[in-house]
Structures are given as structure tokens and as C-alpha cells.
């Protein structure tokens, strides 16, 4: 009877259009941090914004596994072990392709000579 009372609320069905509380969990804000390893790789790590900038100072490089840090100019170094590099990798770094072909030829020659001597 009161003139101030609101009329019936229209279009407020309970159903699919109602926002679900747990949908906000999956939309939690995130931020990414770039980590730089000594090999020049950049690894982007994504953290939940809930940690409020409390992210680690070091991360593992996703490409080479070396420790990666926040400062691109001064990436952390791992003095003890040098993983992911075999002796052959070092050889390849030192030798040009041309050297490699020459060395391969020499090696083949030695093999041929060895076989030749064996007869
Ligand atoms: Zn790396």
C-alpha cells in the first residue's frame, strides 16, 4: 500500500547468468617475472599476484637449466657444475665447421690407414 515500495523485480531469474563465486579463483591476477641466465636466455615465470612481489630472486632457465636471475646484466653463475654440456659441446665451440671437416677427414684417413695396415 505504501507509495515508496518497489514494484516486483523483473528479470532476476536464478540460473545460468548468476556469477559463480569460484570463477574468480581461476581469474586470480597473475604477474610474470623475467629471469636471465648467463647464456642469454630469458625465462618468463608467472606468479600469482597473491604473493605480492615476494618472488624468488633466482629461477631455473627453462632452456639450459642454469640459474637465472633478475638482472640481465649480471646473471647468476653456477661455479661448481656445468650441466648440459658435454666434452663434444666444448670442442664444437672451439672449432669452426671448417676445422671440423678437416679433423673428420684426418680421422677417416687414420681409420683407412689402420684398415690398410691390418691387411
Ligand atoms: Zn639459459
Domain count of the fold of the chain: 2
Is 37 a known ligand-binding residue? Answer: yes
Among residues 44, 89, 48, the alpha carbon closest in space to that of 63 is found at 44
Residue 74 lies inside a defined structural domain of this protein:
yes
Calpha distance 91→82 (Å, rounded): 15
CA of 89 to the centre of ligand 1 (A): 15
Is 41 a known ligand-binding residue? Answer: yes
Beta bridge partners of 45: 33
* Same domain membership, residue 91 and residue 57: no
Q: Of residues 18 and 106, which shows the higher confidence score?
A: 106
* Same domain membership, residue 98 and residue 70: no
Is 49 a known ligand-binding residue? Answer: no
CA of 61 to the centre of ligand 1 (A): 5
Residue 51 lies inside a defined structural domain of this protein:
yes
pLDDT digits (tens, 9 = 90+) for 50-102: 888 789 999 999 999 999 999 999 999 876 655 677 778 877 777 677 788 88
CA of 57 to the centre of ligand 1 (A): 15
Residue 8 lies inside a defined structural domain of this protein:
no
Task: Enter the DSSP assignment of 6.
Answer: -
Residue 90 lies inside a defined structural domain of this protein:
yes
Residue 36 lies inside a defined structural domain of this protein:
yes
pLDDT above 90 as % of the chain: 39
DSSP result, 53-80:
T---SEEE-TTT--EEES-SSS-----S
φ, ψ (nearest 5 deg) of residue 101:
-65, -40
Torsion of the alpha carbons at 22, 27, 28 and 33, rounded to the nearest 10? 160
Domain containing 95 equals 85-119
31 Cβ contact list (under 8 Å, min separation 6): 46, 47, 49
Amino acid at each position: 500500500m505504501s507509495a515508496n515500495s518497489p514494484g516486483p523485480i523483473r528479470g532476476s531469474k536464478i540460473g545460468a547468468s548468476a556469477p559463480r563465486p569460484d570463477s574468480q579463483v581461476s581469474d586470480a591476477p597473475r604477474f610474470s617475472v623475467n629471469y636471465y641466465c648467463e647464456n642469454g636466455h630469458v625465462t618468463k615465470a608467472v606468479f600469482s599476484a597473491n604473493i605480492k612481489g615476494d618472488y624468488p630472486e633466482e629461477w631455473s632457465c627453462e632452456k639450459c637449466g642454469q640459474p637465472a636471475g633478475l638482472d640481465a646484466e649480471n646473471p647468476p653463475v653456477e661455479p661448481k657444475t656445468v650441466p648440459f654440456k658435454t666434452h663434444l659441446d666444448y670442442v664444437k665451440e672451439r672449432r669452426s665447421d671448417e676445422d671440423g671437416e678437416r679433423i673428420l677427414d684426418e680421422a677417416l684417413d687414420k681409420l683407412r690407414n689402420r684398415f690398410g695396415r691390418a691387411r
